[in-house]
Amino acid sequence: MRAAHAKGLLQGIVSMLKPGDIVLDCGANLGTVTRPLAETGAVVHAFEPDPYAFGKLQEAFADHSNVVMHNAAVGVEAGHIRLMRAANFDENPKGASVKSTVVPGGRKINEDLSNSIEVALIDLPAMITDLVGRHGEIAFLKMDIEGAELELLERMLAEDLFNGVRLTVAETHENKFRDLRPRFEALRSAVSDRFPITKVNLDWI
């Protein structure tokens, strides 16, 4: 049901976007969501830290001048961070790349140093502030970043950054990170107290 809801929601979002709108696709992976967003003519910033997935993303959107591809993770500060891959990545990189994460303690993640890589990290709150300052608003922000959304969404709430985004959707990963469940619960409560689901939707999938 959640998948069907998300598909319908995406169709509605696409119908509302227009050329020149600013869109952020955090956790673009192979570009399944990036493609319909880009076809609207919006300027899509696609963030994907995993080198395997990013290579596929580059192949898919090489001829899309309105897709700005960032081979980087997103976080609350700039720098570098360790990206950990799923335990079955070597056997099935296409299917497993969607599970790559920068947050330790995830279910079915191989945290061995030999199975992790250092990737660039972009300060997303700073980028949101800059884009809103230059363009007035961000039309759409999608976040599917395997646990890293928790700290980012907490920062966005604390700094009132949701107000500069027409619609934010995020998939939260409390089932993957059991130790973080109390923080996810507190985040959901705080967000629902301040914003309608038509402004901030934390049930994306």
Would 188 be classed as within a structural domain?
yes
Q: Which domain holds residue 153?
A: 2-74+123-201
Q: What CATH number corresponds to the domain at position 64?
A: 3.40.50.150
pLDDT at 4: 67
How far is the C-alpha of 159 from the C-alpha of 69, rounded, in Å?
26
Could you tell me what percent of the chain has a pLDDT over 90? 85
Total domains in the fold of the chain:
1
pLDDT higher than 90, residue 187: yes
Identify the three-state secondary structure at position 56. Answer: helix
pLDDT higher than 70, residue 111: yes
Q: What is the pTM of this model?
A: 0.94
Would 80 be classed as within a structural domain?
no
Average pLDDT over residues 45-61: 97
Would 154 be classed as within a structural domain?
yes
pLDDT higher than 70, residue 2: no
Q: For residue 138, give every residue at least 6 positions away whose Cβ sits within 8 Å of its Cβ, in sequence order, or none.
A: 22, 23, 24, 128, 131, 132, 164, 165, 166
Q: For residue 25, give every residue at least 6 positions away whose Cβ sits within 8 Å of its Cβ, in sequence order, or none.
A: 33, 34, 37, 44, 45, 46, 47, 142
